Structure 1
Amino acid sequence: MQEDTDMSELHNKIGLRRWLWRAYVQSALLPLVLVETVLIACYLLSNQAIRDAQVQYLEQNAMDSLSATADQNAQIIQDHMGHVAANTDLFAHMVEQALANPAHTPPERFATTADGARYSPRNLGGAASFYSAATPLEKQDLGKVGSLASLDSLMEEMKNHQPLVASLYFNSWDNYNRIFPWFETQKQYPHDMRIPEYSFYYLADAAHNPGRLQRWTDVYLDPAGQGWMTSSISPVYRGDFLEGVVGMDVTVGGILEEISRLHIGWGGYLILVNQEMNIMALPHAAEHDFDLQELTGHDTQEAVKSERFKPAGFNLGMRPDTADLAKTLAKAPNGRAEIDLKGRTHLVAWNEIQPSGWRLVALADKSEVMAATNNLAGHYRHIGYLLIAGLVGFYLCFFTYMWLRARHLSDRLRDTIDGIADMLRQIGLGQWQPRRAESRILELDRMAESVLVMGQQLGISENQRNAAQQRLELVAESVTAGLWEYDLEQDRLHLRGEFVARFNLPGCELLRHRLHPHIHPDDAPRLDSALNALRLGVISRIDLELRFLAPDGSEVWMLCRGRKLELEGEATHTLVAGTFVDIEKLKQVEEDLLQRTREAQAASQAKSRFISSISHELRTPLNAIHGFAQLMHMQATQTGADTQSLDEILLASGHLSQLVDDLLDWSSLQAEAPKLTLRPVNAGRMMHECAEMVRGQAETVGLELQVRLPEAPTHVMADSRRLRQVLINLLSNAIKYNRPGGRLLLGVEPCDEHLRIYVEDGGEGVDPALQGELFEPFQRLGKENTAIKGTGIGLSLCRELAELMQGRMGLHSELGVGSRFWIELPLANTPSSVGRVERSGRPRVIHLDDDEPSRRRVARALAGVADVASLDHGGQLAEALQQGLPDMLLVDLGVDGASAISQLNGIEGGADVPVVMLTAKPDPSWLSFYAFRAVLLKPIDVEELRELASSLLVKEEPHVH
């Protein structure tokens, strides 16, 4: 196993050449590569950042240019359309004047179709006329036709000066159409054509155009056979009657021809969209992106018998691929955006053409816009790749050179290091002057010199060690009884020193069992157990007290100490070395001290039993004295006699009773610490209960008790009865040692993982020099001869109780200002048990009385102070006592009271429960048989009962045994 470990460690070591190469790589090559990599990364990142900035700039520039182009071209289109609209209004005005004047030209010669439609059969260089058969021949107004004939020259001039205008026309309410230039209307128009049903008429009527303004129609198929077009129309009124509508037709082909003259760059194009998002003009360059082919002509010779608009495919909002574009265009009259068409991102800019509300939309493929920038970015990226390739080639050559250099250096260093290692090997074998190794490296040469000096010093040290070892053995033999060694593998002991001769033992190695006859039979197993544990590796040290048997049969105590030693030699083995020390005199002193301790404990227990006995013996006559004094005070009060002497007796007996209770508590703590049950206690509720118990006492001396409870329910680990005793004691002291009108405060503050409850008064304070003595028993700091009564035990009891509850107690006091006493308890971490503890936290009082008003007054007086169980006859007491002893018994002897007291005294610990007699007619003879703690006259004084309960409920039964 050891050889495998050595081989494993050997494999984990590296040679000098490899170590140098690693050092080169880690300290020089890797940092250089890292720096170069960071530089190239910075170059690539900066190049990318510059490219992104350029792309962003060019995108913005392209978008600005596209927007400017859209604005400029929209203005051009708007100018053309504006001229058309203005001429339309002029044409409408001239028609109104012509219709208002009678005809001055001879009527035209018309032909009539078989279906009853009237038309102009020949081209006379003017306009064509068509009267639909929807108006009977006899109702056709030829006078109107003659009046309009005077406008043919005007229509011709307007047509010639407006390249976009394909034709001009007038349509009347009675289905008459006059259109320029002339064509064979009877072949193109349906014979029964109802003109008011077409958009180029009804869009100008009163319902669609109440303002009588110029309007533009949607793109529709021209009934005159000129293909798809839009019309600029304007109404012609005679008074309030719509006589007809004039219009100028602009073909889609004409619009496309005009748009094609406008240049936007980057292979982009312009489209024209109306307010309903219908494409009015789609150039050839856009047909691929929109999967549409513009409609510019009519491929049939049939007449257009009904109104026809462009198909739904030309509406951007009704196509899934252009719905987003339609929403974008509808948001604002002008703007810019990016959209996807055919999977390619396009830059879009648009502007509104007034007053038609059309939008001229400019589109350009983003990839075409950014093509030059992307080519430049690719060029710089290739430069970066070339730099990386050059760097890799350079470092391959550099690494090769460094590897050869490391190999040469390692060979030179290895020769010198092997020489120094050989010197150390010879020194290890005891040859203190080995052959010196030589090296041209100054540090290695100095190392060889140092090894040579080290060998000389080791030789000197070895001689000194041998001498010191001899002296050490002499000293060890003088301070110990003997030395011993134990070989774990051979289970043999080697003893030497005075110990060997003293107990007549052999001075050489001996087996363990041969030592047993010289050890006390009770101690030999302990020695065997310790040596076996050493052999098993369970322990590495032993420390035993053994009794050895002297040759005369006497017993001598010896301290046997030793520890395990790992020795390295030709073969590794383990020894335990130790000493024997004579501790016979120490054992005698220890036995003497133990005997004296037992005597002191017996005296302390006798004192505690004496104090407890005296206290119990004093309590019985004191209860009788106090009870008789109370009865006499009641009788004297009823007869109006002087009660001053009785008041003194009551005051003195009460003081003596308190002294006896304090002595019992103190003696119980001194004799044996009580077993406290620490459970979560609601600190706020406990503080409130204690405050209510002493509030009457405070108000009697003119003090106002202020209480600052925790903001949220907070629980501490404590014994609820003992915590109440501590708080009542602190509050009572604060009341007794306060000044009239002084401060009286019960509060709480957090303190790390604890809660600090404090009582603060406005008394005279405690001198800092005397604060250390304040918690000593029977110490009142000079208040013994004052009118303030006390025993000096209360604070000592409180501190001991606080420590038993794993807390602590202290004070902060200033002379002339006041004092703050506090108890600090750990916070509870088990809220799940809080509910159960809180229900049993209050004192339990049994009230035996058949007077219902008296029971109600007692319950009201002890509300918030104790849990009261009201019984109306003595038979219920046995059931109540099964739940445990009460903290106080209130009894009226007229209701089985004597039986109740006997039941209580018959239970273990029941005689220590305070009993208070309630009576309407006191009988002094009762006090001869029962020990009452107090007597209260009915009807009960609520404040008197509350104050009495506050003083009695905090007293705990003594735990003296």
Structure 2
Amino acid sequence: MPTSKPIGLRQWIWRAFVRSALIPLVLVETALIAIYLLTNNAIRDAQVEHLRETALNDLQAAVSLESRLISEQLSQVSSLTQLYRNLTAQALQGVAPGQVPELALSDEGVRYSPSDDGGAAVFYSNATAPERHDLQKIARLRQLEPLMKEIEARNPLVASLYFNSWDSFNHIYPWFFTLDQYPADMDIPKYNFYYLADAKHNLSRGVVWTDVYLDPAGHGWMMSATAPVYRGDFLEGVVGIDITVSGILEQIGQVQVPWGGYAMLVSDDLSIMALPEPGEADFGLAELTEHSYLDAIRREVFKPEDFQLDRRPETAELAAAISGASSGVQQVMLGSRPQLVAWTTVAQTGWHLLAVVDEAAVFRQTNALASRYQQIGYLLIAGLVLFYIGFFALMWLRARQLSGALLTPIAGISRMLGEIGVGRWQPQPAESQIRELDEMCRHTQDIGSRLAYSESERWEAQRRLELVLESATESLWEYDMPNHRLRIRGGMGTRFGLPSGQLSDSEFRRRIHPDDLPQALAQIERVSRGLQQRYEAEYRFADTQGHYHWLLSRGRVLEHDPDTGVAKILAGTHVDIDALKRVEEELRAATLQAQAASEAKGRLLSGISHELRTPLNAILGFAQLMRMDCDDESQSEAAEYLDEILLASRHLNQLLGEILEWSSLQNEPAQLELQAVDVCKLMRECAELVSLEVQQRGLHLQLQLPDEPLQVLAEPRRLRQVLLNLLSNAMKYNVPDGHISLRTETSPGHVRLLVEDTGLGIEPAQQAQVFEPFQRLGRENSMIQGTGIGLSLCLEFARLMNGQLGLHSEPGVGSRFWIELPRLAPAALQ
């Protein structure tokens, strides 16, 4: 439990005065002032809140008014779009004029208007073959160019008018050189102003506003009011009136936002559509960013993700509020300043008009009024503080006089305790005229007498403890690590002829056996680096005659450097473990005897297997002779019994053979004669040997061999035995109509021979047991015959040929076993 910092007597008396007299007086005065301040604050807060609500209502009203104005302007554009759509539909269905306008045809198959004759521009993409260009359609739409010119001239928001057809024909006013702006293969129905007007996106066939996009014609960021033109139920094309963002910015810039704010326009999907220059600084955006039109005309480019309010951390809450309400006001941090954002929804398009105002500007007058009220309260508090400063000074002088009368006897008692602390148990008593302090002096003398008695008892107990430790160990030791000094107490010094007192660590280490010294030094190093707190090492230590004795040294860190945490003092004991080491040696000898018994067991197993093979061969031979005499159909039952005897005999014969081979490898590993082996030839031989059994089992064998010669260093007979064993397992554990693959993989220094199957597979938890002898992974009672020794023999042969044996298996998919052997380079074969 933490305790407070001790204070002086003078401070304590002063605090007593404060708590008993001054604080109650201050509380009374404070309560009176608090009542006044609370009443004043309540009135002030009510007035400030009323002013704030009035300011916010004014801001919201300004935004609503401007929203209605913009909505009316956009409504006019929508009406003009409907008019233009209706007249376009009539023109397309009317009688074409006799004269077809003069157009140019580019080498790429694009038909276009080569010069400005005061009308619209024509662009017919090569997405439609030149011979299929509808020239009558061009002639009909020429009649609408006066209307297009009039609409563009009379409405400042309108940037351009256009008609785009299903066959990639573009009729747009004002004129510009379309061949430079549009790609020759422009597929118009793939652009947003087209597909937003189709039957899927516009069932009502009305006017649809697009998102803000980068105009392929080069007018910058814009949005379009589009409407479909149908011929019956066929979408003939789309008309549109473009409004540039620069035009919207001019309209937004004219919005009169109070308190020096600005307005901005946001789409229904919360993307910033129009942002004036002050907003660019607050949002860290550039409204008309530089963009390559060579890229833009080949794909639609919309506003970047930075323009999405819901994607920006500082405006995420504002975006959620706008989505949840058609109008409102919310505080947002923009440009490292608190801003008030009021919004309302434009009814015509579902867009949102936002007014952004610096909160400090809105509430400047309100905050000034609140500050004036606060100043009055501060003046009252200042007067109270000045009064109590004078009163506290008077009380502080009185406290100094009282504390002076108490400090002299208390200092005398402190002196007595200091003398007791350094071992002078009977100090000179201090004089005091205060009864309580005089009693403290007498108690201090009694404490000194008791400490003297306790110190003598502690010294005796310590001496006894050291005697017990010295009788249980060879010695006690302390190691001063920074100074490399070692202090040893106990019988070790006498027994090993070590100097009394302290000795250097180098003197001590010279007595340690050279083979054991690195391990002991490594332990010291780990302790010195702070990696461990305990030290333990076993080593042989030489006596004066040069005879070594086993010692167990154990210790722990007693003292650290407070700054670096590095160990300074390491202390512990030495214990004689010669007897234990003799027991270990005896155990080691017993282990060797057990190993010899195991080898004898192996030899016995080998002998028994040899003895069993002789009668087994006789049984197998007689069974084969009897089977040859049972060709008559009347003896079919006897033939079946003989087949079972032959099958069991062969299986048992194979088991005995593998046991003998495995036992011989365990007792004395074979010395294989390694030589160059042609891998391709050997694998073809193995494939031929198992081909008949593969067909009988209804399986498919695939042999994949490289064209170039490939040789490894191995023993041919053992390598063939390994491959046949792996192929046998692939056949036995495969599925009906399964596949077996025999192939190779090469690397600069090795060749890997692989046998793959599409069989049952092996569970991951069982794969570690595959190469253990007599281990069949739970298939001992299945119809699949086996001994569980084959893979362990293959593993031994692979090791004897300086190779590796491994597997990869997935249950239900199959298994892949491989043997990897050293590859012989062409130079080594010559």
Same-fold call, TM > 0.5?
no
- TM-score when scaled to structure 2? 0.43
- TM-score when scaled to structure 1? 0.38
Q: Which has the larger radius of gyration?
A: 1
